[in-house]
Amino acid sequence: MADADTLVLPEGAASDWTIPQNWNAYTPEEHAVWDTLFERQAKLLPGRVAPEFLEGLDILRLSKPGIPDFEELSDRLMKATGWQVVAVPGLVPDAVFFDHLAERRFVAGSFIRKPDQLDYLQEPDVFHDVFGHVPLLANPVFADYMQAYGIGGQRAGGRGAIDLLARLYWYTVEFGLIQSAEGLRLYGAGIVSSRSESIFALDDPSPNRIRFDLKRIMRTQYKIDDFQQTYFVIDSFDDLLDRTLNTDFAPLYDELIGAEEIAPDAVLPDDRVIHRGTQAYSRSR
Ligand code: HBI
Ligand code: FE
């Protein structure tokens, strides 16, 4: 999201880019879109998603129907892990995004996609942001990882380092897979909020599935407008948090800024490959 820093503060937004969610203004049709998407994913995900996500999903089962009221949601999340959900108009500048995460505030778009966009949407709406991201924020370890990412972003300083960090976010928070005792499971918000990618990421022979490697991920380009060609698999949330907390990022940036980038579909000799993708899907596009 390289254009996140050329954005201008929208009218009516506070200096931290937050806006009132205005829950009462949602129409019955908008709530119905949420309900349709929620039911679809709630049916599809058991057996495919990390158990921690399913545990967190209960946090979204609120007293009112439809799109969650962020105040009520934040009350619950605050009790679980000290996180809050705040509304923003859309994409916010990187520095604003990092500051919110560092303070344990997750920024969520408050608008919802139209009924004819159920399966594909470029900009993150409330279903992606809340259904996709919030359940894992109820998990103490993942909650700490997200805050650590925000603090890491505050310290990054400069486009080069932020681009490297954005890849880490992309291949974990948005499109990560995890090895559970029962097998490979989904946890990335971009996957779990998408019906088609929830199937593709786990079952399709096309994409590579490669074990998590921080340096490798930070060199890997990604696609923002189609299914991923490679998914990276973590061993556990504890391991993900440990690896990032125990890494000194400053020398890593020095080493990696300007290093050769890795194509989204590449498999390297040193990769710990779980599945070597056929890339049949991407070649058919
Ligand atoms: N803004 N609303 C919103 N949501 C994001 O996920 C987001 C953002 N701004 C910047 C950003 N993500 C990323 O580019 C950072 O992780 C670098
Ligand atoms: Fe997201």
- Tens of pLDDT, residues 74-112: 999 999 999 999 999 999 999 999 999 999 999 999 999
Q: Which ligand is nearest to the CA of 99?
A: 1
- Binding site membership of 192 for ligand 1 (Cβ less than 6 Å): no
How confident is the model at residue 277, as a pLDDT? 98
With respect to residue 91, please indicate whether it lies within any of the assigned structural domains.
yes
In a domain, 25, yes or no: yes
Whether the pLDDT of residue 5 is over 70: the answer is no
- Ligand 1 atom 10 nearest Cα: 94
Q: Token match 């505030």: residue?
A: 105
Q: Which CATH number fits the domain that encloses residue 194?
A: 1.10.800.10
pLDDT at 260: 95
Q: Using the atom order of ligand 1, give the atom closest to the CA of residue 94.
A: 10
Residue 285 domain-assigned?
no
Q: With respect to residue 283, please indicate whether it lies within any of the assigned structural domains.
A: no
Q: Please tell me the number of the ligand nearest to residue 89's CA.
A: 1
What is the position in ligand 1's atom list of the atom closest to the CA of 169? 16
CA 60, 197, 44: angle at the middle one, nearest 5?
Answer: 50
Alpha-carbon distances of 82 from 67, 101, 147, 244, 259, rounded to whole Å: 21, 12, 11, 21, 38
Cα-to-centroid distance, 181 and ligand 1 (Å) = 32
Q: How far is CA 169 from CA 214, 231, 260, 281, in A?
A: 11, 12, 19, 24
Residue 41's SS3 state is helix
Domain count, the chain: 1
Q: How high is the pLDDT of residue 221? A: 98
Residue 83 amino acid letter: W
Q: Which of 6-10, 139-143, 183-187, 229-233 has the lowest mean pLDDT?
A: 6-10
Q: Is the CB of 86 under 6 A from ligand 1?
A: no
The Cα–Cα gap between 125 and 91 comes to 10
Minimum CA distance residue for ligand 1 atom 2: 91
In a domain, 270, yes or no: yes
- For 221-271, the pLDDT digits (tens) are 999 999 999 999 999 999 999 999 999 999 999 999 989 999 999 999 999
Report the atom number in ligand 1 closest to the C-alpha of 153. 17
- Asked if residue 259 is part of any domain, the answer here is yes
Q: Which ligand places an atom closest to the C-alpha of 90?
A: 1
Q: Residue 196 pLDDT more than 50?
A: yes
> What's the domain range around 250?
4-275
What residues contact residue 232 under an 8 Å CB cut-off, 6+ apart? 171, 172, 175, 176, 177, 210, 211, 212, 213, 217
Rounded distance between C-alpha atoms, residue 224 and residue 171, angstroms: 11
Shortest-distance ligand to the CA of residue 193: 2
Is 60 part of a structural domain of the chain?
yes
User: Ligand 2 centroid to 269 CA: how many Å?
Assistant: 31
Neighbours of 186 (CB within 10 A): 24
Q: Please state the pTM of the whole predicted model.
A: 0.95
pLDDT of residue 2: 45
Local confidence band at 172 (pLDDT 50, 70, 90 cut-offs): very high
Residue 157 — left, alpha, or beta (φ > 0 → left; ψ -120 to 50 → alpha)? left
Tokens of 83: 């996180």
Q: Can you give the pLDDT at residue 46? A: 96
Cβ of 169 closer than 6 Å to ligand 1, yes or no, is yes
**Is 137 exposed, middle or buried, given 0-12, 13-18 or 19+ CB atoms closer than 10 A?**
buried
What is the enclosing helix (H) or strand (E) of 198?
helix 195-203
Ligand 2 mean position to 71 CA, how many Å?
20
Residue 284 lies in a domain: no
Q: Which atom of ligand 1 is nearest to the CA of 96?
A: 9
Q: What is the mean pLDDT of the chain?
A: 95
Q: Annotate 108-129 with b (16+ C-beta within 10 A) or e (fewer).
A: bbbbbbeeeeeeeeeebbbbbb
Length of the chain: 285
